[in-house]
Structure 1
């Protein structure tokens, strides 16, 4: 087990920070081209030390294999509006020259028994350290907003029941997962109309911002938030 966890996790933190900037940059490029962006937003984290230790013990991961066997110490999550966007993001990641895809798991086509849906990609990412380059494994989870809502609730319940859900809750979670996916399918069915409406809305917001700047009116905090997204 690492003697100095801060030192051990340093390249993982750097990888998460860099990847968040790059993935958010992809979103910005679509916006600048006035095109639909498949990326709604991006989050990232480095797994807490206590979670790493617990997983090492549960999966019997030895110290010398920690960096190879634990693929999610660095974790990124990409949220999408539509299921179709997920596969577009997957293609975009494959096209990048600054990382290598080493493993993929499609839990959308191959739904987990619990009802869990998401697309997982494990990448090898080169981090430039003071003493040379270090390749870090990182996991990128790509899912819709409704998939993420379900997964967040299921994850919270997991802490309470330690994975041993009562049968009633287990069945309700499965039904909720199917309902969430039905929502995604309905949204995909009217995708063109939604995207057209969003384009009109964005154009209108842009016009309003320009008018505010010309007349000297203050721009609201919500407008600043829109610009950051």
Structure 2
């Protein structure tokens, strides 16, 4: 019986915090080298206790098997601009020596019947505790901004309908998912144009900031 949930979840929170720093660091490296970063931004969370308990009942997870059977107590989400970026991020994660990939589920090439699209990766990540090393399971979801918008809305509606959507609403959600994916595909078609424009904008903004930070060394007479 887990009596101290805060103590139980502490390693999971440490894993989320460390992974967020590392993933955001990858983005920073791309930016500083002047390359397009496949990572737009990163979020992470530890599943709330109430959600853990509800899922334990729904999935028939025994408490003594919680650490092995519930893969998403620690969860991270990587947002990308383009669908191609998702697979680049997946390749980057496969190359890392500090995580072990246990499972991959491609819901982009194989969307769920609801229309849900995302790339799920279950990893094993070691955290260093005062009592020694502990290997934590975590789930990383990689998706585009459009996919994330749809998934966030669908998740909210799921609380209202408990997964039993009215037929008309379900059909609308499926159409919206297809529209979001069509948007992603259209953006991929003009990807080079978008990246070139973003690079020009970034350089211009950087130059503007540098100009404003340069002290005015002219003498008063030069302004007359």
Provide the TM-score with structure 1 as the length reference: 0.93
* 2:148 corresponds to 1:148: yes
SS at match of 2:39: coil
Aligned to 2:138: 138
Structure 2 SS opposite 1:150: helix
Aligned counterpart, 2:46:
46
Aligned twin of 1:60 = 60
Q: Distance between the aligned counterparts of 2:212 and 2:121, measured in 1?
A: 43
Between Structure 1 and Structure 2, whose CA radius of gyration is higher? Answer: 2
Q: Deviations over 1:139-198 (max 9, x none)?
A: 000000000000000000000000000000000000000000000000000000000000
What is the aligned partner in structure 2 of residue 120 from structure 1?
A: 120
Find the counterpart in structure 2 of residue 36 from structure 1. 36
Partner of 1:99: 99
Map of 1:168 onto structure 2 = 168
1:182 corresponds to 2:182: yes
- Structure 1 residue 208: deviation in Å? 0.5
The answer on 1:79 being equivalent to 2:70 is no
Residues 122-145 of structure 1 deviation map (CA, whole Å, 9 limit, x = unaligned): 000000000100000000000000
Deviations 1:94-125 (A, max 9, x none): 00001100000000011100000000000000
Q: Distance in 2 between matches of 1:10 and 1:151?
A: 28
* Partner residue in 2 for 1:194: 194
The CA distance in 1 between the partners of 2:59 and 2:30, in whole Å, is: 41
Gaps spanning 5+ residues in structure 2: where?
217-224
Unaligned runs of 5+ in 1: 217-229
CA distance in 2, matches of 1:32, 1:147: 27
Q: CA deviation at 1:73?
A: 0.1
Aligned equivalents of 2:206, 2:57: Cα separation in 1? 53
Match of residue 4 from structure 1: 4
Normalised by the length of structure 2, the TM-score is 0.96
Structure 2 distance, partners of 1:15, 1:74, is 7
Pairwise CA distance, 1:2: 1.2
Secondary structure at the aligned position of 2:141 is classed as strand
1:215, distance to aligned residue in structure 2 (A): 3.9
Instruction: Please state whether the residue corresponding to 1:110 is helix, strand or coil.
Output: coil
The separation in 2 between residues aligned to 1:215 and 1:58, in whole angstroms, is 63
Write the distance in 1 (CA, Å) between the matches of 2:2 and 2:48: 13
In 1, the alpha carbon distance for the partners of 2:114 and 2:24 equals 31
Matched, 1:16 2:13: no
Please list every run of at least 4 consecutive aligned residues from structure 1 whose deviation after the TM superposition is greater than 2 angstroms. none
Aligned-CA RMSD value: 0.7
